[in-house]
Structure formats: C-alpha cells, structure tokens
Structure 1
Amino acid sequence: MKLSVIAGARPNFMKIAPIMWEIARRPGVTAQLVHTGQHYDEKMSKLFFEQLQIPKPNIDLEVGSGSHAVQTAEVMKRFEPVVLEQKPDAVIVVGDVNSTIACAMTAVKLGVPVAHVEAGLRSFDRTMPEEINRLLTDAISDWLFVSEPSGIENLKKEGTDPKRVFFVGNVMIDTLVACRDRFSAAGGLDAFGVRPNEYVVLTLHRPANVDDPAVFGGLIRAIEAVQRDLPIVFPVHPRTRKIMAAQSTHLPNVKLVEPLGYLEFMNLVSNARFVMTDSGGIQEETTFLGVPCLTLRNNTERPSTVDQGTNVLVGLDPDRIIAAAQTAVRADRSAHRVPELWDGRASERIIDVLTR
C-alpha cells in the first residue's frame, strides 16, 4: 500500500507524526510525506520535524502565504502533478487548514480515495474558514476518522454513510503520550522566569480575535486584569506583536516570547496554573493533561473537552473572562476525565482500517 500524507500548517505536524511512525512499523505500507508549505517558517518547521522525529518531506510544494482562494488554488495546482506522478493508493489529510481541503479535492478529482483524520468536528460557525474546510473535506472523503463522539453524531445528522465513519481516537494525544517524558528535558521554566503552577499560558492567533480592534481591546483588558495576580507567558506571533504594540497597553507581568517548539511549549502548558487560548488543539491537550483551560471563543468544535475535560468556553466578554480566571486559579484538577480512546493508539487504529 502506497500512501501520501499531507502536512500543511504547524498544527498538522503533531497529527501526522504518529501516523508516520505507525506506517514505518507496518510491513508492506509506504508513505510519501508532502509538505505544502502553507506554514513556511523554516526554523520552526525544522524544529517540529526534528522534535517529533518526522522524516524529511519527500516533496515540499512551497506554497507560502496568500488569501484563502490563492493559497487553496496554489496547493491544488502544485499537488496535482504529484498525484499523477506518484499514483498513491490513498491520500491522508488531517485537520481543517486550507491544505486539507485543497489536497482532498485534488485527489478525489483524480480518482484517488481520501482519508480525513479529525473528521466530524463542527463549531456550527460558518464564518470560520476552518468550518468550511471541515464540511467540504468530510463530504468528499472515503474514510472519516473521528476523534470524539460528537463527530459521529454530527456526521450522522448530515446523512453520512456510517460505513465511512470510524471512531479511532485522537492522534494529537498519540503525540503527547509518546513525547511526554521529553517535555522537561527540552527546556526548563527558568528561561521564562516562572515556577510550576504559578503562571498562566496565553495563546491568541485567530483573526476574528486579533484583527478586530474592539474584540482585541476587550481581550487585552481581561489579560491586564489576570496578569495582576499571576504572570502570563505569551508565545506571540510577530503579527500579533505588532497589533499589541499599536494598542495602549500596560502589561508588565506578561512575558512575550517567540513561538516555541512542541516540546518546550508542552512543558510550559503542562506546568501552568491554567491556560487561556483560542486554539483548538490546546483545548484537547489541556484536557488530557488535566490543566484548566479558558477558551476565548464563543464556540468550540471539540465539545468533549468541555463535557469531560478541563475546558471552559468563556467567550469574548472581558468581565466573564476575568471571573473565569479567578475560578480557574482554584480549580480542582482531580475532577477531569480523559475522553474515550484518547489512549495514544489512534494512529494504530487508522492504519488498521486502511490496511483492511
């Protein structure tokens, strides 16, 4: 069996890593790794690939940035000759980035079946580009690999043939389980000037939160209040840093740091008192680790992290965020549960299905 595995953006790396590990263990199964270059920071990409022991991509499409239409079209244009030349038996796409839908559409139109890892997740907010990518990718994929029960229910309501749906667990948790013993060795907390359980981790990257001055101003007000009680470590994207610089802010206890590698970041998260984020994957990782998480969004496509985990959907109202932060400081970590099949073996189940 010859597979093409697609990685496009940084969140994809943690998802394709255990899939590549599992393929390497299977006799008779080979994989070509295609990096679309949607996230093209060479230093960060190289670091992630080294830390996660992902083989060097066979092909780098070097697409780079652009509008959604430009980026999606460019991936399709550059991926098509790869499929025609390599003739894979199937293409594996993960997550919900532009590369996911672009490579899925290209493969399907050339008659190559597609497996979608993390299928069925829904925020029910079609203003999110990721939601459109999820819906379209699920509609055209042959195998739908689901990470949590809500995905099964969502696909059922959409009329999906149940024979295409497989509940396999969460590949991001596969990576976390495999790498957990290496977190502390990657870099201690001293570099950030903080001590275990005495700081907050913050991430903000969604355009809806960062680009709207009114929304971002409200979030800054909440952050300003939280940092009076606990230091905040904020791995910040250069673009977000520029937007913050244009705001009149007083955040002496917020430590702005460069984007971190996977191991360094997960060490930071695992030792935090709580996390504030608008990321999807971090909601899952904190749930597994038992670290309280405040999600700075009005919706989530990962409801199991709220129902069973440590995640609280706090929205964008500054007063509500501040109140939730005060509660998170006192949170009982023993109450959380790990969702079903988040056991480090999702990739094994995925390759089992494909080889059958």
Structure 2
Amino acid sequence: MRNQTPVVEFIILGLSDSPHLNLLLFVLLLHTFLLTVMGNVIIVTLTLKDHRLHTPMYFFLRNFAGLEICFTSAIVPRLLHGLLTDRNSVTLPGCFLQFLLVYFLSTCMLCHGSVMSLDRYVAICHPLRYGTLMSSRACSQLVLGCWAVSFLIMFPPSFMVPLLLFCGPNVINHFYCDPAALLQLSCSDTAHIEVTVLVSSTLILLGTLTVNVICYIHIISTILRIPSTTGRKKAFSTCSAHLLVVVILYGSAIFRYVRPGQRGVQDFDNVLSLLYCVVIPLLNPYIYALRNEQIKASLKDACLGAFSVCLRLP
C-alpha cells in the first residue's frame, strides 16, 4: 500500500453523465439556489431593518436563514460547476474542507431548528414568562450553544479524516464530498471513524429530533385547549407546515446517516442527499417565514417604501 501513488485530487461523478440532462439539472438547480438565497436574504434583511421583528422568534429565524445561505453555498455552486464541466475535480484539502463545512453547518442548523421549536414552546405554553425566559442574553446564549455543540461534534472527524490514506480509486460517487463516499475510497482502516460518524450523527439527529417532538407535543396539546376555532386552525396551519419540513429533513437524514456500515454509497443516497441539501433549504424560508403575517406585512412596507423612493428619483 505504501508503494502506491497517493491520491492528490478526487473526481466527483455528480448527478448524471448525460450532457443534456446535466444542462437541464443546471438550470433547475441554479433557479433553486437563487430562490433559496433570495428568500433567506429577504428574511435576514427584514428582521434586521424592521423594529417590529426584533423579537426572539425572528432573532433565531435570522440566524437560521444565515446558516442556510452558508450551507447551500458550500454545496450548490460546486455542483453547478460540475454540471457544466466534463471533469469535475477537487483537491484533497478542498474535499476535506467541504466535508467539514457541510458537517458543521448541517449540525448547527439542526440545533437551531430545535431552539426555534423551544422558542415556540415557551411562547405558546408559557406566554406570561416568555419575556423573562427568552431575554436577549438567553437568546444569545442559545445561539452560541448551537455553535459550540456543532464545533464539538465536528472536532473528532476534523482530525481523523485528514489522516486517512487515499491510494486507490479517486472517483466519488456523489455530487459533493460526502463522508460515506470518502470512506469508501480510503485504503486505511476506517472502522474508528465510521463509528465516530455514526455515533455523532445519531446523537445530533435523534437528540434534536427528540427536542422537536417534545416541544410540539406540548404545543399541540396547548393548541387543542384554545377555545377559538379560528385560532386553532391558524396555529395548526403553521405547525403542520413546520412539521412537514421536519419530517422530510429528519426522515431523509436519519435513513442516510444513522445506520451502520457507511461504506458503499447507493444511487438512492444521492437522491436523499439532494433532498435535504437542496430542496429543504428552498422550502424553509418560504414555509417558516414568508407565510408569516408579520413578515409579509414587513415585506409589503419595504416594497412600498422602495417604490416611493424610485418615484421621487429624477
């Protein structure tokens, strides 16, 4: 094994080997990426500019939107570049960096999603104590806690993955540097890192999912006690949209990563990865925020203000 030439770059196969299909996928994914970034940028801008949105709920939403911009930017631009090139290659350090960024940002997004569920739980189930429990200091500590937990989860793989030896095939059967695809190509003993990835993925996925489930059990039980039928319908409409995203995200991620034996990437895994790397980030800003009445009112005011400014221009 030591006499073999070490791998200095990887070839990423992508989603298809058909030029015509790649062109179609490029157009679709480019529009998806632009819509995702635009939706999240709108959320960040509105929640910063409009004083009516300076509340804990929108503070967490702004941070979540920023994370989604970073997450999609770590995957989709390289994917778009690969769809237009015959040979989509990435250097060894570049592949490791993408893997660590995706691992870190996805973990942080899951933690933020749980914090957002916790915020809604306090707002609906303990409205009188909401201002005290969700103070500015508490919100900042929760966000910093998400970053700290994500860093701790990422810390072991960040040391273990660069130590792997790659001396054989260098073709990644995926559209980004996925950990399972990397482990499949390594000529080192990957048992320890497979266990590490499995344990860390299980902890973060099942841990954050448990927080979401517990929070929404209490939220739904509280909503059922609301005497107003209109109030119940409105609350259930918002919750059902949120829960739909949670089910799709956690279902695909758990099936993809919380399982033994990370070697051997299946083609269906690429579809699951595409679902939570591209589709879910597109749905989140529109389901979480742009259906929100306060966000829509703020967006309307911002558009009217911009229109009036344009009319006054010479």
Q: TM-score range by the shorter chain?
A: under 0.3
User: Higher strand proportion, which one?
Assistant: 1
Q: Given the two structures, how large is their TM-score scaled by the length of structure 2? A: 0.23
Name the TM-score, length of structure 1 as normaliser: 0.21
Between structures 1 and 2, the one with greater helix share: 2
